[in-house]
Amino acid sequence: MSGQLVVAGLGPGAEDMITPEVTAALIEATDIVGYGPYVARVALRAGQRLHGSDNRVEVERASFALDLAARGRKVAVVSSGDPGVFAMASALFEALEDGPAEWRDLDIRILPGITAMLAAAARLGAPLGHDFCAINLSDNLKPWAVIEHRLRMAARGDFAMAFYNPRSRARPEGFARVLDVLREELGGERLISFARDVSKPGEHLLTLPLAEARAGMADMRTVVIVGNSMTRQVGRFVYTPRQAPGVQGAGVQGAE
Amino acid sequence: MSGQLVVAGLGPGAEDMITPEVTAALIEATDIVGYGPYVARVALRAGQRLHGSDNRVEVERASFALDLAARGRKVAVVSSGDPGVFAMASALFEALEDGPAEWRDLDIRILPGITAMLAAAARLGAPLGHDFCAINLSDNLKPWAVIEHRLRMAARGDFAMAFYNPRSRARPEGFARVLDVLREELGGERLISFARDVSKPGEHLLTLPLAEARAGMADMRTVVIVGNSMTRQVGRFVYTPRQAPGVQGAGVQGAE
């Protein structure tokens, strides 16, 4: 088959955080497929076809894109952030798995982007500078019991945590329960940061102790980061040191 | 103070994965500071000063850069991948915390980059498409007991996992112990991927069941990714579906 498909990460919002690899792929594409607002962000050249869609039909969108590629088009599926982190890449492979066998022969590439939690971490300082977990709190895809169990395991492992989709449309009360579990596991002094619309107009950062955190501080455009037991503030920054708790004077790292 | 300091993420290796934000900051800098090979990667304009250093003195390098900025220079500290993920950003804030109070007034910015695990995940497919943990296996900065505990918590939470620095110079046998713990927790059929030199010449990818994994498959230039209980192969790709185990037919995601 001659068709090509890339899944391209657009990063958190700012134009200058889109990699040249992604920009080149978007210029070369004959067809651009994605959630409406993301497609609208992409600069176009003459003759390209745009295929915007609703946000809640990811597998259908992926199948549509694969079918276009199978017809010989050069398709770019656009995704916010990094396609591999709670975005379009997994949906693409779900569609590939369920689709016609010949789709597997297509030239398919995933092009990474700056994912929301790392853009947020950079603005805050370095809260994810030691071991951390990334958890999607959208409860459309998993039951609350799974979320709660993972929160407790992450807390007991003294991982920092980054949360995507903290406030689900389907169950807006879910994030209040998340905060309750975190306070139960970690106590009230642990630092939590809310980073909204990072790199976009209206960017807003807020860091405070868990005891003062409220569910309303997060919405669907917010990434939430919880520190580990060593996370602290220096000046206007939040950071997690490289050393694990109890390790003194290490000061070197084996390799970057 | 008029000095400026950026910590700039160079991504995994390929030039076209460096964001325009980082490229612009490197052009504007009067001084570029970093581990020798990273400094050598950076294209220079006339008049810039280069300050290469050894890899094992990150806090000293950070203090040197802060001091330069305090003297009014525009300093770019270069870091592989994303500065906030097991790289230079935390070292910078450690130096800031321990340094003169006036350093805190400097214009300091962290510029994110494509971190190694996400570059590797994109090449492999989408193994980190559901909740995951990032763990630095370099044991210079934490005792084995901490690493083992975190591995077990991550396994019991059914997180996918990404490992940085799997083979430490200091304790090369450590990664064999990691594999033993993973097999004990997850069984032999769980998929593990080794991604070496992603986006560089000689890139090499290998995916196999944990039972067949050997410590020698990883070196210091390898990122290792372990799937969760749902991770599988489709064609030449490895991916983790968006749904948690036991959740059928969800198929939609609240927000990207």
For chain B, the average pLDDT equals 91
Low-confidence stretches of chain A (pLDDT < 70) are: 1, 43, 55, 139, 169-172, 246-256
Cβ-defined contact of A250 to B140 (cutoff 8 Å): yes
Ramachandran angles phi, psi of B186, nearest 5°: -115, -15
**Tens-place pLDDT, residues B107-166:** 999 999 999 999 999 999 999 999 999 999 986 778 899 999 999 999 999 999 999 999
pTM (2 d.p.): 0.94
pLDDT average, residue stretch B216-238: 96
**Tens-place pLDDT, residues B71-117:** 999 999 999 999 999 999 999 999 999 999 999 999 999 999 999 99
**pLDDT for B141:** 73
Tell whether B19 lies on the interface with A, counting CB pairs under 8 A. yes
Residues on chain B touching A139 (C-beta within 8 angstroms): 254
Asked whether the predicted pLDDT for residue B255 surpasses 50, the reply is: no
Cβ-defined contact of B112 to A122 (cutoff 8 Å): yes
Question: Between B18, B125, B140, which is nearest A110 by CB?
Answer: B125
What is the per-residue DSSP string for B186-252?
H-S-SEEEEEESTTSTT-EEEEEEGGG--GGG--TTEEEEE--TT-EEETTEEE--SSPTT--S---
Cβ-defined contact of B250 to A79 (cutoff 8 Å): no
> Does residue A159 contact residue B156 with C-beta atoms inside 8 Å?
no
Cβ-defined contact of A165 to B250 (cutoff 8 Å): no
A233 DSSP β-pair partners = A238
Closest CA to B125 of A55, A114, A111, A101: A111
CA pair distance A132, B132, nearest whole angstrom: 9
Closest CA to B115 of B162, B151, B59, B77: B162
**Identity of residue A217:** M
**pLDDT for A170:** 66
CA pair distance B116, B107, nearest whole angstrom: 27
Reported as a pLDDT band with limits 50, 70 and 90, residue B44 is confident
Reported as a pLDDT band with limits 50, 70 and 90, residue B43 is low
Q: How many angstroms separate the CA of residue A231 from the nearest CA in chain B?
A: 10
Cβ-defined contact of A84 to B158 (cutoff 8 Å): no
Tell whether B175 lies on the interface with A, counting CB pairs under 8 A. no
CA angle B187, B232, A163 (to 5 degrees): 90
**pLDDT for A43:** 65
> Does residue A143 contact residue A42 with C-beta atoms inside 8 Å?
no
Ramachandran angles phi, psi of B170, nearest 5°: -70, -40
Asked whether the predicted pLDDT for residue B1 surpasses 70, the reply is: no
Q: Is B81 left (phi over 0), alpha (psi -120 to 50) or beta?
A: left
Closest CA to A223 of A130, A150, A132, A135: A135
- The CB density around residue A40, as the number of other CB atoms within 10 Å, is 12
Cβ-defined contact of B239 to A93 (cutoff 8 Å): yes
**Tens-place pLDDT, residues A151-205:** 999 999 999 999 999 987 666 688 999 999 999 999 999 999 999 999 999 999 9
Closest CA to A186 of A150, A149, A229: A229
- Measured between CA atoms, the residue of chain A closest to residue B239 is A90
Q: Please name the residues between 194 and 253 in chain A that touch chain B, using a CB distance below 8 Å.
A: 220, 232, 234-237, 239-247, 250-253
- Measured between CA atoms, the residue of chain B closest to residue A239 is B90
Tell whether B145 lies on the interface with A, counting CB pairs under 8 A. no
Q: Write out the two tokens for B62.
A: 């950070």
Q: How many angstroms separate the CA of residue A94 from the nearest CA in chain B?
A: 7
**pLDDT for B40:** 78
B193 DSSP β-pair partners = B207, B225
- Measured between CA atoms, the residue of chain A closest to residue B157 is A150
